[in-house]
C-alpha cells in the first residue's frame, strides 16, 4: 500500500548511507538542507510547520525522540508533497499527514534493520530506545509490518 514511500525512503538511506540508529538528528537536518530547506527556530512555536522553504520549529526540544520524529515527518512532507497546501481539503490533509508519518516510520525504522531487530527478539518496548522514537511511531511501524504480512499471506507475493 505504501510501497512508493518505502522505495523513496530506501533510496535516501542508500544515498546518505544511513547505518547508525537512532538516526542522528544532524543527518536528518543535513538531508533537509540538501533539499534546499532551512530552519527557523522560534521560542513560541510548539509544533513544526513548513512554509515555502523554511521549517519553522520550536527551539531544539528537550525530548530528542519527539524532535527526531517531527524532523523525519517534515522530511516526509518535503519529499512526498513538494508544494505548500494551504487550501487542501480535510481529506487530503489527513492523507498527507498519514503519509508523512509512514515516511517517518520507515525512515527511522527501516525494513532491513527491523528484520534484524525482530529476528534478534527485541520487543516493542526495546524499539523506543533502539530507534529513539516516540511510542506513537512504534504503533505506526507495527501496523505497517502487520499490513505487509497480511499482503504476503493474501497474495503470496514478497513485499
Ligand atoms: Zn505534517
Rounded to the nearest angstrom, the distance between the alpha carbon of 70 and the centre of ligand 1 is 8
Cell triple for 44: 513560541
Rounded to the nearest angstrom, the distance between the alpha carbon of 75 and the centre of ligand 1 is 9
Rounded to the nearest angstrom, the distance between the alpha carbon of 79 and the centre of ligand 1 is 12
pLDDT in tens, 8-40: 999 999 999 999 999 999 999 999 999 888 888
Rounded to the nearest angstrom, the distance between the alpha carbon of 157 and the centre of ligand 1 is 32
How many C-beta atoms lie closer than 10 Å to residue 133's C-beta?
26
pLDDT in tens, 89-148: 889 989 999 999 999 999 999 988 988 888 899 988 899 999 999 999 999 999 999 998
How does strand 54-57 pair with strand 49-51? antiparallel
The single residue listed with the C-alpha cell 524532535 is 67
pLDDT class for 84, splitting at 50, 70, 90?
low
pLDDT in tens, 57-83: 887 766 799 999 999 999 999 999 887
Rounded to the nearest angstrom, the distance between the alpha carbon of 2 and the centre of ligand 1 is 17
Rounded to the nearest angstrom, the distance between the alpha carbon of 114 and the centre of ligand 1 is 24
For the chain, counts of helices (H) and of strands (E)? 7, 3
Rounded to the nearest angstrom, the distance between the alpha carbon of 34 and the centre of ligand 1 is 20
* Nearest CA-CA partner of 11 in 94, 98, 80, 101: 80
Domain ranges of the chain: 3-153
Rounded to the nearest angstrom, the distance between the alpha carbon of 108 and the centre of ligand 1 is 16
Task: Tell me the percentage of the chain whose pLDDT exceeds 90.
Answer: 55
Query: Which value, to the nearest 10 degrees, does the dihedral of the CA atoms of residues 71, 77, 78, 81 take?
Result: 180
Amino acid at each position: 500500500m505504501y510501497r512508493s514511500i518505502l522505495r523513496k525512503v530506501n533510496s535516501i538511506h542508500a544515498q546518505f548511507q544511513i547505518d547508525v540508529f537512532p538516526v542522528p538528528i544532524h543527518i536528518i537536518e543535513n538531508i533537509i538542507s540538501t533539499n534546499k530547506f532551512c530552519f527557523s527556530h522560534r521560542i513560541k512555536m510548539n509544533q513544526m510547520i513548513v512554509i515555502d522553504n523554511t521549517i519553522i520549529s520550536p527551539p531544539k526540544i528537550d525530548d530528542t525522540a519527539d524532535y527526531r520524529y517531527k524532523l523525519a515527518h517534515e522530511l516526509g512532507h518535503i519529499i512526498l508533497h513538494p508544494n505548500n497546501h494551504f487550501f487542501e481539503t480535510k481529506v487530503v490533509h489527513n492523507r498527507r499527514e498519514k503519509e508523512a508519518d509512514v515516511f517517518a516510520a520507515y525512515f527511522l525504522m527501516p525494513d532491513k534493520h527491523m528484520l534484524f531487530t525482530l529476528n534478534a527478539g527485541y520487543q516493542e518496548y526495546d524499539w523506543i530506545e533502539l530507534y529513539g522514537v516516540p511510542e506513537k511511531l512504534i504503533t505506526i511501524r507495527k501496523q505497517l509490518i502487520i499490513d505487509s504480512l497480511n499482503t504476503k499471506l493474501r497474495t503470496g507475493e514478497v513485499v
